[in-house]
Amino acid sequence: MKEQEYSQDNWDLVIRSKTHWLSLNLRELWRYRDLLMLLVKRDYKASFKQTILGPIWFFIQPLLTSSVYAVIFGRIANISTDGNPRLLFYMAGVIMWNYFSTCLTATSATFVTNANIFGKVYFPRLIMPFSVVISNLLRFSVQFLFFFGVLIYYMMKPDYTVHLTWAVILTPLFLVIMALLGLSMGLIVSSLTTKYRDLAHLVGFGVQLMMYATPVVYPASFLQGKWKTILELNPMTSVIEGFRFAFMGSGEFNPMSLFYSIGVTLVLLFISVILFNKVEKGFMDTV
Amino acid sequence: MSKSVLIAEDVSKMYRLGLVSTKSLAHDLNRWWHVVRGKEDPYRMVGEANDRSSKGESEYVWALRDINFSIYEGEAVGIIGRNGAGKSTMLKLLSQVTQPTTGTIKVRGRIASLLEVGTGFHPELTGRENIFLNGAILGMRKKEIQRKLDEIIAFSGVERYIDTPVKRYSSGMYVRLAFAVAAHLESEILIVDEVLAVGDAEFQKKCLGKMGEVSKGQGRTVLFVSHNMYAIKSLCTRAIYMQNGTLKNDGNASLIVDQYLSGYDSMDTARAYQNNLSEKAVYLEKAVCQNAVGIEKYMFTADEPVRIVFTVRKKSPVRGVFLHFVLRNYEEVAILETDSREGGYPEIDTDLEGNFTSVIEIPSRILRSGRYHVSVGIRSEQHDPAQIESIASFMSFDVLADKSPRDARRNSILSTILDWKDAGRLEI
Ligand SMILES: Nc1ncnc2c1ncn2[C@@H]1O[C@H](COP(=O)(O)OP(=O)(O)O)[C@@H](O)[C@H]1O
Ligand SMILES: [Mg+2]
C-alpha cells in the first residue's frame, strides 16, 4: 500500500505496485502515535458512555466466571488448586486469560471491524490492532485491582498460605507477553480471514479449546506425562503459572520457561506482522 | 513553470470481480473433498465451464488504464467524468488506500485526502473529541489539531454543540464538522472526492470558498472531483476529464468542462430505470430522461427542458390507474408533485392491457442546478395495494449551471425566470 522512499529526487513519497515483503515502516508507525492514544481514549470513553453496565460488567464477569469454575472444577470435579482458596485461584486464571483472549479475538476481527475506515483513509493499519491491545489493558487493570482486593482479604485469613513473592516484579513482563501473544495470534487469524471469511467463526471455539490446554481451570501440577508436554509447549502456561506464583506463592513456576514463552512470542510476532503487512495491501480491493 | 508536486506515471488499476476462491474454508474443503473422490466441483457455476471468452471479460476490470499527469505546485485541478470513470479510484491511489496494479506515483509534500466525510467519527464522542480523533486519522499530530482547534470550530459553525455527542447532530452539522477538520489539515496537497454534494447549498458555497482560499490564498495544491461544473469552472485553472478509466483530456478547466457537457458522457444511459420482472398487475417497466428532441440524457443545462418518459405495464385490466410523480432535490426535499389525472391520460385509466407511455416535461429555467431524484407511484383509484407500487428516488438527473453564473448565486429552491411586466410610470 505504501512505500516511502527518500530518494535523490527528493520525493517525499513514492507509491508503487510492488512492495518488499518486509516493508514495515516503523518511522511512519511512530508518527501516528497520537492516533494510537486517541483511539485508546475513544474506546475508553465509548465503553463508559454507552452503558453503565459496561464498567460494572468488568467486575461481575470475572467474579461470576470464577465462582462457576470454583463450583464445577473445584467442588464437583475436585481438581486441586495448589492449596489456594478456590475463588482466588480461578480469578487469577480468569483475569489473565480474559486479557489474552480478548486481545486475540478483537485483533482477529481487525479487517472486518475497520473495513469502512480502511477503505476511505490511509494510516498504518497496525495502529488499529495495537490500540485494541492497549485499550484492553484498561479493563485488565480494573479487574486486577479487584483481584488484588480479594487477595488481601485471603492474605489476612490465617487458614491460607497465600503470599506475594519476588516474581511480582515480573508482572509487567507477563502482561507484555500476553499482549503480544494475543496480538500476533489475532493478526495471523485476521490475515487468514481475508481469504477465508468463515474462519472468523472458529476463533471463539479455538480460544476456548486453547484455554483448556492452559492451566486456567487447573494448576500445572495437575497434569503428568504427555499431557504435561503439551502444557509446556503452550507459551501461555508459564505466564499464568508465573502470575499465580508471583501473587499467591504457589505453582510450578520456572523462570526458564518464561524465556521459552518470550521466544515463541517474538517468532509469532515477526510472522504475524509480515503476514498482516502483506494482506493489508490487497485487502481493500476484495470487499 | 513551478515545480511539480505530484506525478503519475503509467498508472493502472485492475480490480478482480469474481474471486477464484470461494472465500470460505468450508467450501474449499468441500471442493477439495469432491475433487479427491473424482467428483465434480460442487461450486462451479453452470455454464462457466470452458467458456473462456466470457469468463475473461467478467473477472477483471481495469478501473484505470495508463494514466499519466503531473500536477504543479499551487494548482487547483478539477477531475470530471461520469460515474464509474475511475475518479474515485484515482484519488484512492493518491491517498494510498489502495495500491496501483502498475505504474508509479511520486509525491512531494503531505497529502490530506477527504474521500468521504466523517470517516472514523464516533457517535458517542462529542464534536470536540471527534475533531481530534478524525484529525489524527487523517494524519495530523495532536499539537497541530490543538493549534487549529478554534479555527476548525469556527468554520464548522457548530460552536454551540461542540461538546455534545455527534450522534445528536443533524446530517448537515455532521458534514460541516467533518469538512472543517479536513480543510484545516496542514498539508501541501488537498484531495477531495465528491463529498460536498451532501451539504446544503450555503455550506457547499462555504466549502468551495475554503478550497479556493486553500489554493489561491495559501498556495496549496488542490485536486477535487465534482459534478458541479460551475464550481470546477470558477475554482479550477485546470481540469482532468476521465472516461472509462482513461484520461480523455487534460487542460484549461473551461474548455474541458464544455467538451464534457457537449459530449456523450452527459448521456450516461446507465441511469435509466428498467424492470422486467414484477408480480404486480401494474408496474413501472421503464423510465428514462430525455431532452426536448427525445435524446436520452441525464445531465441538463438550466436552459433545457427535462423530459421524463415512463412506460407502465398493465398485465390485467385494472381500472382507474394513474401515475403520481414527485421530484426531490439533493436534500430529498420534495419540490414538485403532480399526478397524471391532471393531464388527463385516458387510455391507462380504462380496462385495457398492455404498455402505456406517459411523458412529462419540466420546462427549462425552473430547476436550479443540482441533482434531482425522481419518485413515482402507480396508484389505482380502487386503492388495491396488490396492484400498485411506489418507487422512491429510483432515477436521478443533474441540472448544471454552466451557462449561467447567476444561478449559482441564488439560494432559492427554484430558479425560474418570471415575466417582469412594466406596469408603467406615474408622474409625481
Ligand atoms: N473494490 C472494487 N472492486 C471491483 N471493482 C471496483 C471496485 N472499486 C471500483 N471498482 C470499479 O472501478 C470503476 C471505477 O470506479 P470509481 O473510481 O468509483 O468511479 P467514479 O468515482 O469515477 O464514479 C468502476 O467500474 C467500478 O465498478
Ligand atoms: Mg466516485
Evaluate whether B202 touches B412 at the Cβ level (below 8 Å): no
Residue B91 — very low, low, confident or very high, per pLDDT cuts 50/70/90? very high
% pLDDT > 90, chain A: 41
The pLDDT value recorded for residue B407 is: 60
- B288 lies in some domain: yes
pLDDT of A23 higher than 80 = no
Position B26: which residue type?
Answer: A
The predicted structure's pLDDT at residue A7: 43
Residue A62, pLDDT above cutoff 60: yes
Confidence tier at B405 by pLDDT (50, 70, 90): low
Q: Please write the tens of the pLDDT for every residue from B160-178.
A: 999 999 888 887 788 888 8
Burial B79-101 (b: 16+ CB within 10 A, else e): bbbbebbbbbbbbbbbbbbbbbb
Q: What is the DSSP string of B237-295?
A: SEEEEEETTEEEEEEEHHHHHHHHHHSGGGT-GGG-EE----SSSEEEEEEEEE-TTS-
Residues B26-36, mean pLDDT to the nearest whole number: 74
Q: Enumerate helices (H) and strands (E) in chain B, giving the number of each.
A: 11, 18
Measured by CA distance, the residue closest to atom 17 of ligand 1 is: B86
Name the most confidently modeled range: A125-129, B49-53, B350-354, B377-381.
A125-129
Q: Would you say residue B159 has pLDDT above 50?
A: yes
The three grid cell numbers given for residue A199, joined into one nine-digit string: 474462519
The answer to whether position B332 is within a domain reads: yes
Min mean pLDDT across B35-39, B244-248, B367-371, B421-425 is at: B35-39
Percent of chain B with pLDDT over 70: 85
Phi, psi of B299 (to 5 degrees): -125, 125
- Concatenating the DSSP letter of every residue in B45-81 gives PTT-TT-HHHHHHHHEEEEEEEEEEEEETT-EEEEE-
Query: What letter does residue B97 receive in the DSSP assignment?
Result: S
Q: pLDDT class for B309, splitting at 50, 70, 90?
A: very high
Inside any domain, residue B295: yes
A8 reaches B (C-beta below 8 A): no
The three cell numbers locating residue A200: 472468523
Distance between CA atoms of residues B97 and B112, nearest Å: 12
**Does B206 or B49 have the greater pLDDT score?**
B206
Distance (Å, whole) CA B377 – CA B394: 11
Q: Are A117 and A131 in contact (CB under 8 A)?
A: no
From CA A232, how far away is CA A116, in angstroms rounded?
A: 41
Instruction: Supply the pLDDT for residue A5.
Output: 42
B91 CB contacts (<8 Å, ≥6 apart)?
B79, B113, B115, B191, B193, B223, B225
**What is the C-alpha separation between B203 and B341, in angstroms, rounded?**
39
Q: Which of A5-14, B210-219, B419-428 has the lowest mean pLDDT?
A: A5-14
**Residue B110 forms contact with A (CB below 8 Å):** yes
What are the backbone angles phi and psi of residue B6, rounded to the nearest 5°? Answer: -150, 125
The predicted pLDDT at position A6 comes to 42
Q: To the nearest 5 percent, what fractions of chain B are helix, strand and coil?
A: 30, 30, 40
- pLDDT(A176) > 90: yes
pLDDT confidence band for B53 (50 / 70 / 90): very low
**Distance between Cα A150 and ligand 2 center (Å):** 58
Number of Cβ atoms within 10 Å of the Cβ of B180: 24
Contact B387, B280 (CB under 8 A): yes
Q: Name the pLDDT band for B20 (thresholds 50, 70, 90).
A: very low
Q: Which of A39, A120, A275 is nearest to B178 (CA)?
A: A120
Asked if the structure places residue B42 within a domain, the reply is no
- pLDDT of A284 over the 90 cut: no
B106 and A32 in contact by Cβ < 8 A? no
* CATH of residue B296: 2.70.50.60
For residue B338, is it within any domain?
Answer: yes
The answer to whether B19 contacts A120, with C-beta atoms less than 8 Å apart, is no
Assess whether pLDDT exceeds 60 at residue A8.
no
Q: What is the mean predicted confidence (pLDDT) over B71-98?
A: 90
pLDDT of residue B41: 65
Point out which residues pair with B114 in neighbouring strands: B192
Mean pLDDT of B137-151: 91
Mean pLDDT of B117-141: 89
Which of B23, B102, B122 is nearest residue A196 as measured by Cβ atoms? B23
For range B128-140, the mean pLDDT:
92
Average pLDDT, stretch A48-66? 78
The confidence band for A1, taking pLDDT boundaries of 50, 70 and 90, is very low
ipTM of the complex: 0.84
Instruction: Using the predicted structure, report yes or no on whether residue A187 has a pLDDT greater than 90.
Output: yes
Q: Are B103 and B247 contacting, i.e. CB atoms less than 8 angstroms apart?
A: no
pLDDT at position A261, please?
95
pLDDT at B49: 38
Residue A95 has pLDDT above 90, yes or no: yes
**What confidence score (pLDDT) does residue A20 get?**
65
Bridge partner list, B425:
none
Q: Which of residues 13-32 of B touch A (CB under 8 A)?
A: 15-16, 19, 21, 23-26, 28
Q: Which residue has the cell 515477526?
A: A270
Closest Cβ opposite residue B107 in set A12, A38, A117? A12
Q: Cβ of B23 and A34 within 8 Å? A: no
Q: What share of chain A is helix, strand, coil (3-state, %, to 5)?
A: 75, 0, 25
Nearest CA to ligand 1 atom 18: B88
Long-range CB contacts (within 8 A, 24+) of A54-60: A55/A142, A58/A139, A58/A142, A58/A143, A58/A146, A59/A142, A59/A143, A59/A146
Q: Give mean pLDDT, residues B10-25.
A: 71
Q: What percent of chain A lies above the pLDDT cut of 70?
A: 91
| Contacting residues for B251 by C-beta, under 8 A, at least 6 apart | B238, B239
**What residue numbers bound the domain in which B417 lies?**
273-422
Inside any domain, residue B354: yes
**Three-state secondary structure call for residue B33:** helix
What mean pLDDT do residues B32-61 have?
A: 57
B255 within domain boundaries: no
Residue A119 has pLDDT above 60, yes or no: yes
CA dist., res. B40 & res. B26, Å (int): 16
Residue A54: list chain B partners with CB under 8 A: none
Does B384 score more than 70 pLDDT? Answer: no
Per-residue pLDDT for B46 more than 50? no
Determine which of A175-184, A186-195, A242-251, B58-67 has the lowest per-residue pLDDT on average.
Answer: B58-67
Q: B4 to chain A: nearest residue by CA?
A: A11
pLDDT at A131: 95
* pLDDT on residue B305: 92
CB-CB: which of A35, A46, A120 is closest to B116?
A120
Taking residues B111-125, report their average pLDDT. Answer: 85
Pairwise pLDDT comparison (A261 vs B212), residue with the higher score: A261
pLDDT digits (tens, 9 = 90+) for B174-202: 888 888 888 888 888 999 888 766 666 67
Structural contact between residues B105 and B11, judged by C-beta atoms closer than 8 angstroms: yes
Angle at A223 between CA A217 and CA A228, to 5 degrees: 110
Domain count, chain B: 1
Task: Determine, yes or no, domain membership for B368.
Answer: yes
